[in-house]
Amino acid sequence: MAESRDYDVIIVGAGFAGMYMLHRLCNLGLTVRALEAGDDVGGTWYWNRYPGARCDVPSMEYSYSFSPELEQEWTWTEVMAAQPEILAYANHVADRFDLRRDIQFNTRVSSVYYGDDKQWTISTDTGHRFHTRYCIMATGCLSMPNTPDVEGAGDFGGPVYHTGQWPHKGVDFSDTSVGIIGTGSSGVQAIPVIAEQAKHLTVFQRTPNYTMPADNKPMTAEFIEKVKADYASIRQQQRESEFGIIGYGFGFGGNTRTPPTALIMDTTEDERHAAVLEHGFGAIHQYVDVGLNLEANELACGMYRKHIDQIIEDPQTAEGLMPRGYPIGCKRPVIDTQYYEAYNRDNVTLVDLRRGGIERITAKGIQTQQGDYEFDALIYATGFDAMTGALLNMDIRGRDGVTLSDYWEAGPRTYLGLQVHGFPNLFTITGPGSPSVRSNMMTSIEQHVDWIADCITYMDSHQLRAIEATERAEKDWIKHVYETAQGSMLTAPSCNSWYLGANIPGKPRIFMPYIGGLGNYRKQCDDIAENDYTGFNLTA
């Protein structure tokens, strides 16, 4: 065991959150170290290198706003950049701000204990120990890959991949038959690309998704120039917006699209059919009531299924791809590129597991209740233990030795998604109870990082040593998060999303993100800080 080292702040994780946090705190003159399990920066974009991985928020908006120079010198090539470009951006930021100097890579934090000396002791799988006043979790909302517990999983004879832990040197699937489990965001992105390469692709689908075409394209020089000139105003609008996205120049988030006013409940079946023929899946966006009541929503789902029927040539495959029994808008929007079209290829087979589930994985493939399927390589596109997975994967113990896993046994409890009562001086960037995954994460990350950096500055300038969310404030906040989500499609009884933890067996069914709007949330956080940190106990 190496001897322990003292820091003002330890940051866990070097994705976009950890990187910016490090930059801010180093500029404050604090001693800071970031610990990262991977061997380089980028987090999500370092790990998720699967074919087709890309952003589903326009890159001009899914990028840092803290440095006007950075904004001007970096040029995105596509509206929604692919993973290699986003990772290159992360590397550029690390170089430009000389971040790697203060990051220890290949280091996974295993335990985080609060001691009688009012310091955190952090231990790693490399045998290092760190003592720190503040511990900041930048461990990511979608960083703990989920692999379902399927009987015989270890029996498969060929290579096995998880989209969230993709090999760095890539995988060549030509002349290979591939089985892929999962049709969430990652599966939907990967399937069309792998289908083009593989000899055959068999898709095992438990729940079909409502996915919308990305309409991605290269950006013109004129458009880039215009955005760069307008960045200050774009960023301000993002910060004040509901989701941290304004859809600048594209019209789907804010400034050019007129908000819908029509009621789907007032339409006839013929009108809905005609709308689908004319606008495809986008037809659904023109109705205001789809997100408001389940009956209206079901009409929109019908339109959605109609369009699948129009695209997919084989009727059984079309039926298999049709989502049923849960509302549109209950899960994180999935954005695709030629997803449905992939199923019209001769080399793609859909196995709709609603017709008979997986029984076991065998040496040669997957045995289901509908029959056996053989392939050479297996891919899990089965997502993540979202929002709490990475945090609970560490042994975190707060005051009086209380473990975070015990404290969160019935679901995550936080104040603002930033702190947990009983865990002083520990912050969670984009923690559960904050807008996080219900927003453009870059906007949310920057907001949290700035708030935390300002908070530490305040603490130091007032000679304060510890800040801790009060139990009362935490309770009130959780109630508010819960109440805000009620009545929306996100918490409909028929909705089973990872927002609710429903993809992980045994995980408490709690809606984790805050959906009160990012701009509104920012204002609440700012007001709390301006009022000397209402709801927090500050001690010398």
Ligand X SMILES: Cc1cc2nc3c(=O)[nH]c(=O)nc-3n(C[C@H](O)[C@H](O)[C@H](O)COP(=O)(O)OP(=O)(O)OC[C@H]3O[C@@H](n4cnc5c(N)ncnc54)[C@H](O)[C@@H]3O)c2cc1C
Per-position x/- string for 105-124, each x denoting binding to ligand X as judged by CB under 6 A, each - no binding: ---xx---------------
Q: Return the number of the residue (104 or 338) whose C-beta is nearest ligand X.
A: 104
3-state secondary structure of 180: strand
Contacts of 94 (CB under 8 A, 6+ apart): 19, 40, 41, 100, 103
Q: Return the number of the residue (141 or 361) whose C-beta is nearest ligand X.
A: 141
Contact 81, 108 (CB under 8 A): no
Least spacing, CB of residue 21 vs ligand X, in Å: 9
103 near ligand X, judged by CB under 6 A: no
- Rounded Cα gap, residues 59 and 50, in angstroms: 19
53 near ligand X, judged by CB under 6 A: yes
Contact 339, 321 (CB under 8 A): no
Least spacing, CB of residue 11 vs ligand X, in Å: 9
Q: Return the number of the residue (13 or 422) whose C-beta is nearest ligand X.
A: 13
12 near ligand X, judged by CB under 6 A: yes
How many residues bind ligand X, per CB under 6 A?
Answer: 36
Query: Where does this chain touch ligand X (CB under 6 A) — which range of 45-53, 395-403, 451-459, 476-484?
Result: 45-53
- In the structure encoding, which two tokens stand for residue 99, read together? 């971040």
Strands 120-124 and 129-137: antiparallel
Contact 137, 427 (CB under 8 A): yes
Least spacing, CB of residue 401 vs ligand X, in Å: 20
Largest CA distance in the chain: 74
Residue type, 204: F
Q: Judged by CB under 6 A, which of 123, 267, 425, 430 binds ligand X?
A: 430
Residue type, 432: P
- Rounded Cα gap, residues 118 and 340, in angstroms: 55
Q: Return the number of the residue (82 or 203) whose C-beta is nearest ligand X.
A: 82
9 near ligand X, judged by CB under 6 A: no
62 near ligand X, judged by CB under 6 A: yes
Q: Judged by CB under 6 A, which of 11, 22, 35, 350 binds ligand X?
A: 35
Q: Which among 369, 378, 334, 313 has a CA at the least distance from the CA of 153?
A: 378
Least spacing, CB of residue 461 vs ligand X, in Å: 27
342 near ligand X, judged by CB under 6 A: no
Alpha-carbon Rg for the chain, nearest whole angstrom, is 24
Distances (CA, A) of 84 to 45, 46, 90, 383: 8, 9, 10, 20
Query: Where does this chain touch ligand X (CB under 6 A) — which range of 10-18, 152-160, 248-256, 302-310?
Result: 10-18
* β-bridge partners, 134: 9
Contacts of 160 (CB under 8 A, 6+ apart): 377, 378, 379, 380
3-state secondary structure of 393: coil
Q: Return the number of the residue (61 or 71) whose C-beta is nearest ligand X.
A: 61
195 near ligand X, judged by CB under 6 A: no
- Rounded Cα gap, residues 452 and 505, in angstroms: 33
- In the structure encoding, which two tokens stand for residue 515, read together? 């959906």
Least spacing, CB of residue 59 vs ligand X, in Å: 9
Residue that the structure tokens 């001691």 belong to? 115
52 near ligand X, judged by CB under 6 A: no
Query: Where does this chain touch ligand X (CB under 6 A) — which range of 49-57, 209-217, 355-363, 461-469?
Result: 49-57
Q: Return the number of the residue (19 or 264) whose C-beta is nearest ligand X.
A: 19
> For residue 240, with 0-12 CB atoms within 10 Å meaning exposed, 13-18 middle and 19 or more buried, which class applies?
middle
Q: How many other CB atoms are found less than 10 A from the CB of residue 100? A: 18
Give all strands of the β-sheet with 371-374 in edge-to-edge order.
358-361, 365-368, 371-374
Residue type, 223: F
- In the structure encoding, which two tokens stand for residue 401, read together? 């030795």
Q: Return the number of the residue (105 or 407) whose C-beta is nearest ligand X.
A: 105
48 near ligand X, judged by CB under 6 A: yes
3-state secondary structure of 435: coil
Q: Return the number of the residue (51 or 208) whose C-beta is nearest ligand X.
A: 51
Query: Where does this chain touch ligand X (CB under 6 A) — which range of 336-344, 365-373, 395-403, 440-448?
Result: 440-448
Q: Judged by CB under 6 A, which of 10, 44, 121, 517 binds ligand X?
A: 44
3-state secondary structure of 396: strand
Query: Where does this chain touch ligand X (CB under 6 A) — which range of 39-47, 154-162, 340-348, 457-465?
Result: 39-47
36 near ligand X, judged by CB under 6 A: yes
Please, which of residues 129-148 interact with ligand X by CB under 6 A?
138-143
Query: Where does this chain touch ligand X (CB under 6 A) — which range of 50-58, 246-254, 365-373, 510-518?
Result: 50-58
Q: Return the number of the residue (51 or 365) whose C-beta is nearest ligand X.
A: 51
- Please work out, in degrees rounded to the nearest 5, the angle formed at the alpha carbon of residue 119 by the alpha carbons of 107 and 535: 110
Q: Judged by CB under 6 A, which of 49, 56, 133, 517 binds ligand X?
A: 56
13 near ligand X, judged by CB under 6 A: yes
Integer distance in angstroms from the first to the last C-alpha of the chain?
32
Query: Where does this chain touch ligand X (CB under 6 A) — which range of 35-43, 198-206, 230-238, 301-309?
Result: 35-43
Sign of the four-CA dihedral 60, 66, 72, 75: negative
Per-position x/- string for 376-415, each x denoting binding to ligand X as judged by CB under 6 A, each - no binding: --------------x---x---------------------
Least spacing, CB of residue 164 vs ligand X, in Å: 6
Least spacing, CB of residue 72 vs ligand X, in Å: 22
Give the residues lining the site for ligand X (CB under 6 A): 12-18, 35-38, 43-44, 46, 48, 53, 55-57, 62, 108-109, 138-143, 186, 390, 394, 429-430, 440-441, 445
